[in-house]
Amino acid sequence: MGKHRKPGPLTITVRTTGGLVAGAVVIGTAAATAQAAVGAPGGVPAQAKPPAAAAAMNVNAAPSKSQKTPAPHDVPQQMSGRAESASAKPASPASPAPAPKRPTAAQAIKLAESQVGTSEDGNGETKFADWYSSTGRAKETVQRDGGSIGEYKDAAWCSMFISWIGDKLGFNDQMGFDAWTVAHAKWFEEQGRWGDKPKPGAIVFYNWGGSKSIDDIEHVGMVVKDEGDGTIKTVEGNTDNSVMNRERSEDQVVGYGYPDYAN
């Protein structure tokens, strides 16, 4: 079984659009010249621990490109003895793009449980590791951690499974995007969304020996239900080489990451 891999910065590019339209009105008298100009500027194995590295998310704003000012519109030179006016009607500003719709915890659980039964092939590979290997995120983590992208193909994939769910929901900015459980948990902690209470849809991190240190995390899954008796029902990848539902003791839980789901 391969090792869990470490995290790298997740970059999100935010595009902004903007524009300013100005109109000019010039009123002339008879036989006068008027001009108007209009412009529009604009059971799992213990994971091997790679060297520690911090995870971060960067949000970069890409400014909009300025638009060239069109040439002035010509107004007829002769006004036939009466006053005329030329005016330009300002264009309506562009409507902002709608914000992505956040999934509910129930939707995240449904997607995760839809994968129950998905298993490794004879080479220890899964579609989740194949997907992760194809992402720009894999390139970032390889650049940071060393090794090669191909190593993800048969690495322990529980964290890649959670990242896959986030990607399918368009929710990686809330669910995290990593192949290494320790860094995945630290990302939640850095976002201020880390705690010790099981909630449906929460991302649960384990240490089989009962350690409560993030640095000792060995496995990750998703909470389906708090049973209320010191156990939780979960859905997890890379457990017995498959995606499975499990019942876990809270004694094995290091902590929980809380995506900001819709109500």
- Please report, for the domain that includes residue 164, its CATH number: 3.90.1720.10
Q: Considering the entire predicted model, what is its pTM?
A: 0.66
pLDDT for 253: 98
Distance linking the first and last C-alpha atoms of the chain: 38
Decide which of 20 and 228 is more confident.
Answer: 228
Asked if residue 96 is part of any domain, the answer here is no
* Percent above pLDDT 70 for the chain: 62
Is pLDDT above 60 for 185?
A: yes
pLDDT for 142: 86
Q: Which amino acid is at 224?
A: V
Q: Are 119 and 241 in contact (CB under 8 A)?
A: yes
Q: How far is 196 from 158, CA to CA, in rounded Å?
A: 20
Asked if residue 209 is part of any domain, the answer here is yes
pLDDT for 42: 40
Average pLDDT for residues 231-240, to the nearest whole number? 98
Confidence of residue 96 (pLDDT cuts 50, 70, 90): low
- Closest by CA to 4, choosing from 129, 126, 106, is 129
Least trusted range by pLDDT, from 112-126, 134-148, 218-232, 245-259: 134-148
Is pLDDT above 80 for 49?
A: no
Average pLDDT for residues 156-173, to the nearest whole number? 97
Q: How far is 153 from 160, CA to CA, in rounded Å?
A: 10
Q: How are beta strands 203-206 and 219-226 bridged, if at all?
A: antiparallel
Confidence of residue 141 (pLDDT cuts 50, 70, 90): confident
Average pLDDT for residues 249-260, to the nearest whole number? 98
Average pLDDT for residues 60-85, to the nearest whole number? 37
pLDDT for 145: 78
Q: Across-strand partners of 153?
A: none
Asked if residue 122 is part of any domain, the answer here is yes
Asked if residue 46 is part of any domain, the answer here is no
Which token pair is 92?
């309506």
Asked if residue 205 is part of any domain, the answer here is yes
Decide which of 199 and 95 is more confident.
Answer: 199
Asked if residue 90 is part of any domain, the answer here is no
Decide which of 148 and 7 is more confident.
Answer: 148
Range of the domain at 201: 101-257
Is pLDDT above 50 for 179?
A: yes
Q: How many domains does the chain have?
A: 1
pLDDT for 101: 84
pLDDT for 100: 67
Asked if residue 85 is part of any domain, the answer here is no
Upper half-sphere CA count for residue 123 (Cβ side, 13 Å) = 10
Which token pair is 71?
């040439």
Q: How far is 136 from 217, CA to CA, in rounded Å?
A: 25
Decide which of 160 and 43 is more confident.
Answer: 160
Asked if residue 250 is part of any domain, the answer here is yes
Average pLDDT for residues 33-39, to the nearest whole number? 37
3-state secondary structure of 247: strand
